[in-house]
Amino acid sequence: MKRHTDKTPKPASTGPSQRQLRAGELIRHALVDILRHEDLQDPALINVSVTVTEVRLTPDLRHAVCFVEPLGAGIAPKIDREASSPSRIAVELGSPEVVVAGLNRVAKFLRGRLGKTIDMKFTPDLKFIHDESFNSAAYMNRLFDNPVVQQDLRRLSDVVEDEDD
């Protein structure tokens, strides 16, 4: 007997499911505890505090992308091009890129610790990415502090006040 097949196209995915969001938060909280209590042996992670801002999971919950922001002393976000070879990038020790690379090197260790603390059928593979939202927010704050933008905002508020009267 044949199964009925629906020929109507499925709607495009609108975002993560509740299950993905719930599991992502569970993993984020567990990672925060692990990073707080464990002494990671990677040289890039010594004396560096890391904030896990978000964890996004694939629909099958097997892979997790962890967005992190390194904090604390020694963090230098500046990346310079080497003078000898412009195509090479010199990354300063303690920069977010170095910290994220260190986290990706210890990802298997973190996954092992994570498997002991969370109650899920599978412990997801971890991939760490620098969270750029902090840089974007700082850029927007600098834009709003610009005198030209301030002038436009004052004009806009005058127009809105006139409409309210």
In this prediction, residues 103-111 reach a mean pLDDT of 95
The alpha carbon of 74 is separated from its chain's Cα centroid by a whole number of angstroms, namely 20
- How confident is the model at residue 10, as a pLDDT? 64
**Residue 38 backbone dihedrals phi, psi, to 5 degrees:** -90, 145
Q: What is the pTM assigned to this prediction?
A: 0.69
| Lowest pLDDT segment from 2-6, 41-45, 79-83, 136-140 | 79-83
- How confident is the model at residue 25, as a pLDDT? 95
pLDDT at residue 85 tops 70: no
pLDDT at residue 125 tops 60: yes
- How confident is the model at residue 137, as a pLDDT? 76
- The structure tokens listed for 159 are 């127009």
Q: Which residues lie closer than 8 Å to 84 by C-beta, 6 or more apart? A: none
In this prediction, residues 138-165 reach a mean pLDDT of 74
Residue pLDDT, tens place only, 30-45:
999 999 998 888 888 8
In this prediction, residues 7-29 reach a mean pLDDT of 84
pLDDT at residue 161 tops 90: no
Residue pLDDT, tens place only, 73-83:
345 544 455 56
Average pLDDT taken over every residue of the chain: 81
CA–CA separation, 83 and 66 (whole Å) = 33
